[in-house]
Structures are given as C-alpha cells and as structure tokens.
C-alpha cells in the first residue's frame, strides 16, 4: 500500500516556467520532508516541515505542509535545468518509529 | 566532512548467491537506516540500527539482514538472491534516532545490485 501519492509522476517543462508538485495521503504525519535525487546519487534533503499550514522557502522553492498534516506541495518558480531530478516527499509518523514512508516520486526535466 | 560512504557501488550476482553491502555513516552519526529503491516500488524501508541494535524493521523477508558495529558502520546481507532483489540499496545516517524519526537523513550514493 502506497501511503503517499505524488502528482504528477512526470513533468517536462522549459526553463523559466513555474510548477507545483503535490504529495497527498490519507494518513497524518508528524513531519514531512522533501528530497531531490539525481541520477546515480542518493536523495538529498531539501526541507523538513513539521507544523500544519507551515510554509518554507528555499530560494525559488516553496514548500507547504497541509493544515491537517496529510499533504504537502512543492512549488518551483522560474525553473532552471539544474532543478532536473526526482523529487520525493517522505513522511514520518513520530513516536518511536524511525522509518520514513516515501512518496511515489515526481520526475522533473527542465530544458533550455 | 565526509558523507555517507557505501561500497561496493555496483555489483552483479546470480540467483541463489548472497551479497553483503557496507555503509560508513557520517562521522558522529549513530543511526543508520537502509532502504531499497526500485522503479516499481520506489523507496522502501528495510531496517534501522542504532547503538549496534536493530530498532525498526520493514516488511522484507528474513533473507534480508543487517548489523551495526561499535564504530556505527553497518552492513546488510541478502541471502539466496532472487531476480526481484535487483535494486539500488541506499544507506542513510542521522545524528540520533530523533533525527532519523523527523526525516533528517543523509543518504549515500547507493549500491546498485543486479541479479541475473
């Protein structure tokens, strides 16, 4: 059972365009992370959001955690070729559980 | 500061063989988690080790096992390999179980296993 669904699965856009990636679940998470993974490398943590409704900005990337802590979104403004990669959301349940539930992934390609 | 180091980076095995993968966490990190990544299933949690003890385990068969040494280095072993075990195996470390719990994981580049 995939607990975190990401949409879209694939996205091909041109440099300068804006985009939004969604991460949805029916479960509540104590925190949610976004990672970016490039070919041949492991995922790299971009941000952690822990409070419902929280918005975090990282240069051209804006992350939002849903009020009910069941969903999140990643918005990229003026995409650049360097943004190309696989974007993964991951949820943590809190308590003593130490495993993350990863989303299905969104593969983004930004062309010139 | 050196990152998470995984060895080997690539390996090819045949069905029925066994394989051992190694992970050296970032210096000072005590929690090590292992994940399997495949195109069909995405990233799935295998297990987590902290202070040489397995603290959490995912839904994988007993053929998948691991251990952690006193210096926090970790190994995972897969016995009686099957074709479906072909995947990228990722190791991630964090400062503590609390940080692992909040997802502040630092991943290695992975070990890509191909089973023929």
Token pair belonging to A43:
């995922």
Across the interface, whether the CB atoms of A100 and B45 are under 8 A apart is answered yes
Burial level of A109, CB count in 10 A (0-12/13-18/19+)? middle
Q: pLDDT value at position B40? A: 85
- Which pLDDT does position B101 carry in this prediction? 56
Cα(A32)–Cα(B98) distance, integer angstroms: 14
Mean pLDDT is lowest, of A33-47, B6-20, B39-53, B88-102, for B88-102
pLDDT value of residue B102: 62
Closest Cα in chain B, distance from residue A2 (Å): 9
Structure tokens at A36: 């970016």
Q: Chain B: give the shortest CA distance to residue A41, in Å.
A: 4
What are the mean pLDDT values of chain A's consecutive 10-residue runs (112 residues total)?
84 97 93 92 92 95 95 97 96 68 94 93
- pLDDT of A100 reads 84
Token digits for A69? 């802590």
Chain B interface residues (partner A, CB cutoff 8 A)? 4, 31, 33, 35, 42-45, 48, 50, 55-56, 58, 90, 92, 97, 100-110
Q: What CA–CA distance (Å, rounded) separates A22 from B99?
A: 24
**pLDDT tens column, B56-114:** 899 999 999 999 999 999 999 999 999 999 999 999 998 766 655 566 789 999 999 99
Q: Which helix (H) or strand (E) holds B24?
A: strand B19-24
Interface contact flag, B104 A33, Cβ < 8 Å: yes
């Amino acid at each position: 059972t995939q607990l975190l669904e990401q949409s879209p699965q694939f996205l091909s856009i041109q440099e300068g365009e804006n985009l939004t990636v969604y991460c949805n679940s029916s479960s509540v998470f104590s925190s949610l992370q976004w990672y970016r993974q490039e070919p041949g490398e492991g995922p790299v943590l971009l941000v952690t959001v822990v409070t419902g409704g929280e918005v975090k900005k990282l240069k051209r990337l804006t992350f939002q955690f849903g009020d009910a802590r069941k969903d999140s979104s990643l918005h990229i403004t003026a995409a650049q070729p360097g943004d190309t990669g696989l974007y993964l959301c991951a949820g943590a349940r809190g308590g003593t559980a130490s495993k993350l539930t990863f989303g299905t992934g969104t593969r983004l390609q930004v062309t010139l | 500061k050196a990152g998470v180091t995984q060895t080997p980076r690539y390996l090819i095995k045949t069905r029925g063989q066994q394989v051992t993968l190694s992970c050296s966490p970032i210096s000072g990190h005590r929690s090590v988690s292992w994940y399997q990544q495949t195109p069909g299933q995405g990233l799935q949690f295998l297990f987590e080790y902290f202070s040489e003890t397995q603290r959490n385990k995912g839904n994988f068969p007993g053929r998948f096992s691991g251990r952690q040494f006193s210096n926090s280095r970790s190994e995972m072993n897969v016995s009686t390999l099957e074709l479906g075990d072909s995947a990228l195996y990722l190791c991630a470390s964090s400062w503590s179980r609390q940080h692992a719990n909040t997802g502040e994981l630092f991943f290695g580049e992975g070990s890509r296993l191909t089973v023929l």
